[in-house]
């Protein structure tokens, strides 16, 4: 799926997102702009978006599915279904970005459909388990191999856990199947699953939350908090076990992530990459979002001792090729390797530079 990048347009925003093609079913990066009653997307060529949109999607009569579980290995996907039943799949670079896009698109759908009624639960009404839901049946559905929650290998602070899943994945699953109407209700229901020993916390973050949070909500709607089904808990701390141990540089805390454009070192062409900034140790890794399995980084650099600075938008600086969009910045490593990167806006560029300086 294609990544989403925020850009400013009228009173809304635009950004790069991943988009799945309808004719050739591969994922491509497109620049999306959300307006009052339309979603437009553009092709990116040579580091710059085209002037004319490739497609204009009317939001009248659309329905939005977030989270979308059509792609189990891509939890950041949004599905937009038009009134003619055409399905558009978009993918963001983080859960925060996904939820932000979904909320803004939903607002525009509602605005373009005055008779459309959003299904909302009043925040003043406490969540109660519906009479037709039994926790024992619910956990069985969660463990279904085809339609349930996918168990994967995850790392936390250098430890590796297999057959586990994140708290955000659980809430996504509950919301997508209309078992709950809000994420808050999903947290409450998942907390009940913990209390009845159907789900167990895995790792430091979720375990501390279970003991430290007052009240009934002991579950974290978090993409870094790990859980497992009670019968499947496993942990590996030794390299001797036959399980992949994450690289030390990948075990740091994620500080920031998002889609940026990067110039290649050899061909000097511009490509959209999903960047992940980590601290302790401080590294910046980038991934190819168009690959079906986009969890393996295609490059990275240590930020210890590096220099990062914005590049002026007046003309093209030396070392830059192509007709670039602007909002450039440069990272120079201690080995004198130069990385040229484009952000979607001046504000986004400033945020990345500040975040990199803080961890470097």
Query: How far is Cα 152 from Cα 287, in angstroms, rounded to an integer?
Result: 19
Q: Which residues of 316-352 are buried (b: 16+ CB within 10 A; e: fewer)?
A: eeeebebebbbbbbbbebeeeeebbbbbbbeebbeeb
Same domain, 85 and 22: yes
| Domain hosting residue 107, numbered range | 8-112
With beta carbons less than 8 A apart as the criterion, state whether 99 and 66 touch. Answer: yes
Tell me how many domains the chain contains.
3
State residue 142's pLDDT score. Answer: 92
Say what the pLDDT of residue 20 is. 64
Q: Quick check: is 191 in a domain?
A: yes
Q: 248-277 pLDDT, tens per residue?
A: 556 678 889 888 888 887 778 888 888 999
Same domain, residue pair 228 and 266: no
Indicate the DSSP class of residue 262.
E
Residues 41 and 139 occupy one common structural domain: no
CB 149 within 8 A of CB 164: no
Q: Are 126 and 202 in contact (CB under 8 A)?
A: no
- Residue 215, Ramachandran bin (φ over 0: left; ψ between -120 and 50: alpha; else beta): left
Indicate whether this model's pTM tops 0.85.
Answer: no
pLDDT tens by residue, 9-37:
222 345 666 666 555 567 788 888 888 88
In CATH, what number is assigned to the domain containing residue 159? 1.10.10.10
């Amino acid at each position: 799926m294609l990544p989403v990048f925020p850009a400013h347009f009228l009173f809304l925003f635009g950004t790069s997102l991943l988009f799945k093609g309808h004719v050739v079913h591969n994922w491509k990066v497109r620049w999306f702009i959300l307006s009052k009653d339309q979603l437009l997307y553009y092709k990116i060529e040579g580091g710059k978006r085209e002037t004319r949109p490739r497609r204009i999607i009317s939001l009248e009569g659309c329905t939005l599915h977030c989270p979308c579980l059509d792609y189990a290995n891509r939890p950041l996907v949004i599905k937009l279904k038009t009134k003619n039943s055409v399905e558009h799949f978009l993918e963001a670079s983080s859960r925060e970005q996904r939820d932000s896009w979904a909320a803004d698109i939903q607002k525009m759908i509602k605005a373009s459909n005055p008779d459309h009624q959003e299904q909302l639960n009043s925040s003043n009404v406490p969540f109660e388990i519906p009479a037709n839901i039994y926790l024992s049946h619910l956990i069985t559905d969660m463990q279904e191999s085809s339609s349930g929650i996918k168990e994967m290998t995850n790392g936390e602070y250098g430890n590796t856990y297999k057959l586990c899943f994140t708290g955000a994945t659980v809430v996504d699953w509950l919301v997508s199947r209309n078992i709950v109407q809000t994420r808050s209700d999903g947290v409450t229901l998942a907390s009940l699953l913990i209390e009845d020993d159907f789900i167990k916390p895995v790792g430091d973050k979720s375990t501390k939350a279970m003991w430290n949070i007052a009240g009934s909500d002991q579950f974290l709607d978090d993409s870094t908090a790990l859980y497992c089904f009670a019968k499947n808990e496993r942990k590996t701390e030794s390299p001797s076990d036959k399980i992949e141990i994450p690289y030390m540089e990948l075990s740091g805390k994620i500080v920031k992530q998002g889609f940026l454009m990067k110039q290649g070192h050899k061909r000097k062409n511009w490509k959209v990459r999903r960047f992940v900034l980590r601290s302790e140790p401080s590294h910046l890794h980038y991934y190819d979002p168009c690959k079906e399995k986009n969890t393996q980084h295609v490059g990275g650099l240590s930020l210890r001792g590096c220099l990062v600075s914005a590049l002026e938008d007046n003309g093209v600086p030396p070392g830059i090729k192509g007709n670039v969009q602007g909002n450039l910045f440069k990272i120079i490593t201690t080995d004198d390797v130069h990385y040229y990167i484009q952000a979607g806006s001046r504000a986004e560029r400033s945020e990345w530079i500040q975040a990199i300086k803080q961890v470097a």
